[in-house]
Structure 1
Amino acid sequence: MTVSNAVKLPRVPVGEWFDSLVTWCTDNLSWLFDGIGSAIESSVDGLTDALNLLPPLGLTLVLAVVALAISGWKLGLFTILGFLLIDSMELWEPAVDSLALVIVSALVATVLSVPIGIAAARSDLVSRVVRPVLDFMQTMPAFVYLIPAIFFFSIGAVPGVVATVIFAMPPGVRLTELGIRGVDPEMVEAGEAFGTPPNRILTRIQIPLAMPSIMAGINHLIMLSLSMVVIAGMVGAGGLGGEVLEGINRVDVAKGFEGGIAVVVLAIYLDRLTGALSEGPGMLRALFARGKAAAGSSAGS
């Protein structure tokens, strides 16, 4: 039998079904999307305005102090050099816009993913339901998320944030579940033996012990949010994504490269900062450790 004579299966109109679902949601849930869009837009605009209250040098010093306190002098020095480089390339405003967009997206994704990961860790049924959904979210091309986001929220920063949240959530859920499931069962059994309620076991034993894995998930989540910056620029989110997209459209190598370098600076800063929250040396931790040691030695004497 030749290919032309083979039995042809009927076409399954999956795309049309999804289009109908999007249309129904747009017609019947516009009030919900308007509320979500207003909340996201207000958050991004408010954070952008707050970051712009200080001049570039002032904000750079504030970010450097945060890096010094949490991670150490190396990240503090990198912050000063990196953000001054961004300012010297005249990309300060787009960088601040992207930083605000990434922070809001990462916060929303964290607030959604951590509770889902906890629920999946405590229930095998939830885990079995969530896992294929996460597989779908992770493997779907990021550009596809922009299509329904534009239908629901028009163009601007809001569809960029929504698409970023959907794209960035899976590692937060997976590593939260993995961390809590990886807690030593003997620790949980010891808490149960003392009559500790399940919620207190979760907050006092499981979450603290799983915190390195949870923070790793948040770190991956932030990196994925940054990777969406350029894609979000395609729907009018602006920021560094808009600069890179403009460089691509004009075939301007210099403009595209400078925008990419600015994204890399933001990525390294946020990556090292979130990584140090769980394991970095940090000036604050060093001071607390010295204070504890001094208190212990004085008590001993």
Structure 2
Amino acid sequence: MDWFFKFPHMNDDSLRNLKKVIDEGFRAFTRAYGDAIEGLFAPLQHFLIAAERFMTKTPWPIIMLIILAIAWGASRSWKVVAGCLVTLLAIGYFDMWDDTMRTVSMIFVCTVLSIAIGIPTGILMSRSDRMQRVVNPVLDVMQTMPSFVYLIPVVMLLGIGKVPGLIAVVIYAIPPMIRLTDLGIRLVDKDVLEAADAFGSSSWQKLKNVQLPLALPTIMAGINQTIMMALAMVVIASMIGVQGLGQPVLKAIANQYFTLGIFNGLAIVGIAIIFDRVSQAYGKRLQKHREVVHG
């Protein structure tokens, strides 16, 4: 009756041998191809370093003006701009400017990479139900896998540093970008597509001139969610060498520095609110524009 109370499992020696074979196989793969894989990510490292250098070496008034100009261009709201200004001034006043700029540069590169991979993948998913059935389980795993688990293979392949942290953040943050691109294109009105067909549009013209513009508000929601999830990974990514607001929080946890942790945590929240309000306001403006054009 033992089997009734205790779930039958693989023999302990067999399980140990299986784990050992998998671990040794991955280590052998890392030793054989680690350098080549690292070389593939060299351009990404240069891009990240250039973005970080620009954000940290440019005088703060210029960076602040650029951010406020982007906020105004996206939202056309003085309230959003004023909120951005107050948040940035508070971050600078509490001596968190450099760490915040490092975090912003990493989120910027992560978002660009997520858009570059996510939108084409979402378009492919929207065009093929089979592709959607294949990709959806992968996205489910990416979203539900504990974020610490991503760090293990990434660190084994690429070591400690900015690029491994960035890759882990992108893996965690990209699923909403892919899902919402797919959803946005699938939600485009069939009558509009039939009208485009009637005018003799090719598949590329339909995608470029009809589907993507109409799906843009939904895609913007995907970008917004990707940015929020990337910011949520900042502290975890700091464990493998990503500089920014995550490292002081990690230091505060290790040494029980209450104020250091709270201040840097609030800075992350402030940056998240800026990104959220600006991208949401831009998405709403796109939605209104669409309603005016098609209303």
Deviations 1:92-151 (A, max 9, x none): 111111111111111111111111110000001110100100001010011111111111
Deviation at 1:18, TM superposition (A): 5.3
| Alignment-derived partner of residue 52 in structure 2 | 48
Deviation at 1:183, TM superposition (A): 0.7
The partner residue of 1:235 within 232, 235, 240 is 240
5+ unaligned residues in a row in structure 2: which ranges?
none
Matches of residues 1-301 of structure 1 in structure 2 within 5 Å?
A: 1-2=1-2, 8-10=8-10, 19-20=23-24, 22-71=26-75, 72-280=77-285
Count of aligned residue pairs for this structure pair: 283
Q: Distance in 2 between matches of 1:31 and 1:215?
A: 36
Q: Distance in 1 between matches of 2:95 and 2:111?
A: 26
Q: Distance in 2 between matches of 1:239 and 1:78?
A: 22
Deviations 1:29-69 (A, max 9, x none): 33442224322221111011112343223322221122122
- The answer to whether the 8 A contact 2:235-2:247 is kept is yes
Letter in 2 for 1:237: V
Which ranges of 4 or more aligned residues in structure 1 deviate by more than 6 Å?
Answer: none
Q: Distance in 1 between matches of 2:85 and 2:159?
A: 37
Secondary structure at 2:174 match in 1: helix
- The answer to whether the 8 A contact 2:111-2:226 is kept is yes
Q: Distance in 2 between matches of 1:136 and 1:165?
A: 14
Deviations 1:267-297 (A, max 9, x none): 111112222222249xxx9xxx9xxxxxxxx
- The answer to whether the 8 A contact 1:98-1:229 is kept is yes
Secondary structure at 2:41 match in 1: helix
- The answer to whether the 8 A contact 1:37-1:153 is kept is no
Secondary structure at 2:209 match in 1: helix
Letter in 2 for 1:194: F
CA RMSD, Structure 1 to Structure 2 (Å): 2.2
Letter in 2 for 1:10: M
Deviations 1:252-271 (A, max 9, x none): 11000011011011111111
Letter in 2 for 1:110: I
**Are residues 7 and 111 of structure 1, via their aligned partners in 2, closer, same or farther at CA, if it must alter by over 3 Å?**
closer
Letter in 2 for 1:250: N
Letter in 2 for 1:215: M
Q: Distance in 1 between matches of 2:230 and 2:56?
A: 21
- The answer to whether the 8 A contact 2:34-2:158 is kept is no
**Are residues 211 and 18 of structure 1, via their aligned partners in 2, closer, same or farther at CA, if it must alter by over 3 Å?**
farther
Deviation at 1:15, TM superposition (A): 5.3
Deviation at 1:19, TM superposition (A): 3.2
Q: Distance in 1 between matches of 2:275 and 2:20?
A: 40
Q: TM-score, normalised by structure 1?
A: 0.87
Q: Distance in 1 between matches of 2:280 and 2:5?
A: 59
Q: Distance in 2 between matches of 1:269 and 1:253?
A: 24
Q: Sequence identity of aligned pairs in percent?
A: 35
Greater shift, 243-252 or 29-38, is seen at 29-38
Secondary structure at 1:239 match in 2: coil
Deviation at 1:196, TM superposition (A): 1.1
**Are residues 28 and 192 of structure 1, via their aligned partners in 2, closer, same or farther at CA, if it must alter by over 3 Å?**
farther
Letter in 1 for 2:146: P
- The answer to whether the 8 A contact 2:56-2:102 is kept is no
